[in-house]
A and B are shown apart, each in its own frame.
Chain A
Amino acid sequence: MSRQRQQNQQLFIHGRPFSKFYVASTSGPLVNFGDNNKNPAEDESEEYLWECIIDPNSDDECAYYRQSYTPLKKTGTWSLRPEEVDHVTLKDKAAMAAAAVTGIASFAVLIFFSGPGAWRFFLAGGLCAAASHAIPTPIDVVKVREGPLLSQSFYKIKHGWVLISYMYPFDDHSDVVADEETSGFRVTVDVLYPCNSENYQG
Chain B
Amino acid sequence: MSFILATRKIIKDEGAGALWAGLGPTICGYLLEGAMKFGVYEVLKPTALTLLQSLSAATSLPFLKNQVIAFVICGIVAGTAASFVLAPMEALRIRLVSEPSFAPKGMIQGARRMVKREGVLSLWRGIKPQIYKQVPYTVTKNVSFDYLTRMAYSVAIAGGVGVNAGTKTTIPLLAAAVTSILACISSQPGDMLLSLVSAHQGEVRSTHDFAKDILKSDKGIRGFFVGLNCRMYHMGITVTLQLVLYDFLKRLCGGVATGM
Contact = CB atoms under 8 A, between A and B. Distances in A.
Q: Does B bind A?
A: yes
B238 A132 contact: yes
A135 B27 contact: no
A151 B195 contact: yes
17 contacts: A51-B201, A61-B105, A69-B202, A86-B116, A92-B112, A110-B39, A121-B38, A122-B35, A123-B253, A124-B250, A144-B98, A144-B198, A146-B3, A147-B195, A148-B199, A151-B196, A200-B226
A67 to B, nearest CB: 11
Contacts of A201: 2-3, 227, 230
Interface string A147-175: 11111001101100000001011110000
A29 B242 CA distance: 43
Nearest to A66: B117
Contacts of B104: 60-62
A137 B93 CA distance: 10
Contact of B246 (A84, A124, A166): A124
Contacts of B13: 171
Interface string B220-260: 00010011001000100111011101100110111100000
Residue of A123, A125, A148 most packed against chain B (CB within 10 A): A125
A141 B20 contact: yes
Residue of B99, B116, B252 most packed against chain A (CB within 10 A): B116
Contacts of B98: 144-145, 147-148
A66 B218 CA distance: 34
A133 interface: yes
Given A133-B30, A137-B22, A150-B227, 12 more contacts: A69-B202, A110-B40, A117-B254, A119-B253, A120-B254, A121-B255, A128-B242, A132-B238, A137-B19, A145-B98, A155-B213, A202-B227
Contacts of B112: 86, 88, 92, 96
B101 A144 contact: no
B63 to A, nearest CB: 28
Interface residues of A, number: 75
Contacts of A197: 219, 223, 226
A140 interface: yes
B125 interface: no
A15 interface: no
- Size band of the interface chain B makes with A: 35 or more
A12 interface: no
Contacts of A118: 39, 42-43
Contact of B234 (A60, A125, A143, A194): A143
Interface in A32-76: 51, 54, 60-62, 64, 66, 68-69
Contact of B241 (A54, A69, A103, A135): A135
Contact of A141 (B19, B35, B42): B19
A125 B246 contact: yes
Interface in B67-118: 93-94, 97-102, 104-105, 111-113, 116-117
Nearest to B216: A158
How would you classify the secondary structure of chain B's contact residues: helix, strand, loop or mixed? helix
Interface of A: 26-28, 51, 54, 60-62, 64, 66, 68-69, 83-86, 88, 92, 96, 103, 107, 110-111, 114-115, 117-151, 154-155, 157-158, 166, 168-171, 193-194, 197, 200-202
Nearest to B44: A114
A132 B239 contact: yes
B18 interface: yes
Residue of A85, A121, A169, A200 most packed against chain B (CB within 10 A): A121
Contacts of A139: 234
B161 interface: no
Interface string B1-19: 1110011001001000011
Contact of A140 (B26, B36, B111, B246): B26
Given A68-B201, A154-B223, A157-B217, A141 B22 contact: yes
B227 A125 contact: no
Nearest to A92: B112
Nearest to B243: A128
B201 A137 contact: no
Contact of A157 (B100, B195, B219): B219
A85 B239 CA distance: 41
